[in-house]
Amino acid sequence: MTALVTPDLKTRKAKQTRDKVLQAAKEVFSTKGFHRATVHDIVKRAELGYGTFYLYFRDKKDVFYALVALVEADLYTAANGGIDLDQEYGRGRNAYRALRKDLKAVFESFMNNAAVIKFSRELAETDVDFRRDYSAMRSRLIERTRHILVKSRVQGVNFEIAAVAIAGMIESVAMAVLERGAEGYDEEQVLPTITKLYFKAVS
């Protein structure tokens, strides 16, 4: 995703303003969808002027890309609610508990970012440039899964192929949960089931 030259985000006010735009955009996309949303909708929700918006973002696609980058960090890395698997193993946490803790963070992030994820998938189908970025985002989950497989020391499997298969399983289940909505998410059913399947694959 192409970076935009913006005001110095080291200042608290600049960061707060950008975050305000992002939050407003997330709310607008959630209610109107990507294609129906406009910059006017976003600045109105943020209670800011057009000039302020364009200091930080070129257009609605640019702000959407920024939201996707935040979701990527939240979903597929140890930051923002995820875990540091090396640290967990170093503390002596067994593989099953580490996997369950990791999956819990992933699913919670999916639920918190449902709208952005949904419209990311839709935009990837029609926008060639975004499709490339979306594929790169998905590759982070695959790489994270491969890392877990390597740490588990499972024998006799191709780590790359196994990571794609398992990551696909995780994403498919999470998206099915999203389709049903938050009321369809029963942590006591989903997490133990997916963790056991995952654990059996790597143990």
CA distance 25 to 60: 8
What is the reported pLDDT for 132? 82
Structure tokens at 98: 């580490």
CA-CA distance, 173 to 106, in Å (whole number)?
11
CA distance 202 to 93: 16
Nearest Cα to 194, choosing from 133, 117, 161, 175?
A: 175
- One-letter amino acid of 146: R
Which H helix or E strand runs over 39?
A: helix 39-46
157: DSSP letter: S
Average predicted confidence (pLDDT) for the chain: 79
Distance CA(12)–CA(17), nearest Å, equals 9
Please report which confidence band the pLDDT of residue 47 belongs to, taking 50, 70 and 90 as the band edges: very high
Q: With beta carbons less than 8 A apart as the criterion, state whether 149 and 203 touch.
A: no
For 159-191, write each residue's pLDDT tens digit. 889 888 888 887 788 778 777 765 666 767 888
Predicted pLDDT at 60: 92
Report pTM: 0.68
Q: How many other CB atoms are found less than 10 A from the CB of residue 86?
A: 12
Residue 200 has pLDDT above 60, yes or no: yes
- Residue pair 85/79 in contact (Cβ under 8 Å)? The answer is no
Model pLDDT, residue 83: 54
What tens digit of pLDDT does each residue of 72-90 get? 777 665 433 445 666 666 6
Residue 90 contacts residue 41 (beta carbons within 8 Å): no
Distance between CA atoms of 51 and 48, rounded to whole angstroms? Answer: 8
Alpha helices in 33-127 (DSSP H): 39-46, 50-56, 60-76, 85-90, 95-112, 114-126
Ordered structural domains, the chain, with CATH: 10-57 (1.10.10.60), 65-202 (1.10.357.10)
CA 153 to centroid of chain Cα atoms: 27
What pLDDT, in 10s, does the model give residues 103-158?
A: 777 777 777 777 788 788 888 888 887 888 778 777 877 887 787 777 766 778 88
Q: Are 74 and 82 in contact (CB under 8 A)?
A: yes
Residue type, 83: I
Q: CB atoms < 10 A from the CB of 80, how many?
A: 13
